[in-house]
Amino acid sequence: MNVVTGGTGFIGSCLAKMILDEGLDVATFDIKPTSPVLEPYGSRWRHFRGDLRDMSEVMTVIKESQPDVIYHLGGMLSTPSEENPQASFMTNVVGMFNVLESARLLGIDMVVYASTNGTFGLDLEGLTVIGDRTLQRPFTMYGCGKLFGELLGRYYHRKYGIDFRSVRLPAVVEPGAKTKNVSVYNAWAIEKSFFGEPYQIFVTPETRAPIIYFKDAARAFQKMHQGVRWDETPAVREWNWKVKFHLDDMVEDFIRELTDHRSWYI
């Protein structure tokens, strides 16, 4: 059994579906009531509607599921965090504490965490490569909260032996994205064109930004759980990560998703 927090969100439901397709049962935890992506799985999927800010609700899903691994993907994205930093603190910072503390109290071995390239920020002038020792000095509430999550996970590993793993995602491209965040314009550029609606992005044509397709993001979390050894070596040397969806495949699959599963996304 696996638990996915944020499990009715975009990446969370995609990850939960991948795990279910592998034959394992999944419990999701989310403030949102359900996911059309997961409903077809019947009793193999159990949803706990709850709030990360509430320790007892977080403990309930973990106690009742006794998972091998908790994928912690629930949280507030960048723009909502900037609009309401206090709510972001409670959700992303206190929520992270609640997840790790519940894992410790209930004897769960592994927590896999969704972090972000937003944990970097200031003072990177002149750098072309980000490494394990690059200065992390975020300037957004979202980045601050996510960096705290990374550090708290590292601490729980050192102090309590929890196997903590994390992926720092770049901007995720996902069909049907509604929540404004700094990366959503990538998805809207494809989606608005698909629906024949005009759309303008206010950047110069030379602008480049790192992106990842939501299916690759979900696969990254799944792969993190399966056989990557946790130690201090740079992950890339250990991990041999390769994306499956390059830009053309991404656009093609995005349009196929919108065509085949319009009701899931729109």
Ligand X SMILES: NC(=O)c1ccc[n+]([C@@H]2O[C@H](COP(=O)([O-])OP(=O)(O)OC[C@H]3O[C@@H](n4cnc5c(N)ncnc54)[C@H](O)[C@@H]3O)[C@@H](O)[C@H]2O)c1
Binding site for ligand X (CB under 6 A): 6, 8-12, 30-32, 51-53, 73-77, 91, 95, 114, 116, 169, 171-172, 174, 179, 181, 183
Q: Which is nearer to ligand X, 2 or 116 (CB)?
A: 116
Q: Which is nearer to ligand X, 74 or 175 (CB)?
A: 74
Q: Which is nearer to ligand X, 75 or 175 (CB)?
A: 75
How far apart are CB 126 and ligand X at their closest, in Å? Answer: 24
Q: Which is nearer to ligand X, 110 or 171 (CB)?
A: 171
In the complex, residue closest to ligand X by CB: 9
How far apart are CB 30 and ligand X at their closest, in Å? Answer: 5
Q: Which is nearer to ligand X, 81 or 108 (CB)?
A: 81
Q: In whole angstroms, give the CA distance from residue 95 to residue 115.
A: 14
How far apart are CB 17 and ligand X at their closest, in Å? Answer: 13
How far apart are CB 196 and ligand X at their closest, in Å? Answer: 25
Contact 114, 123 (CB under 8 A): no
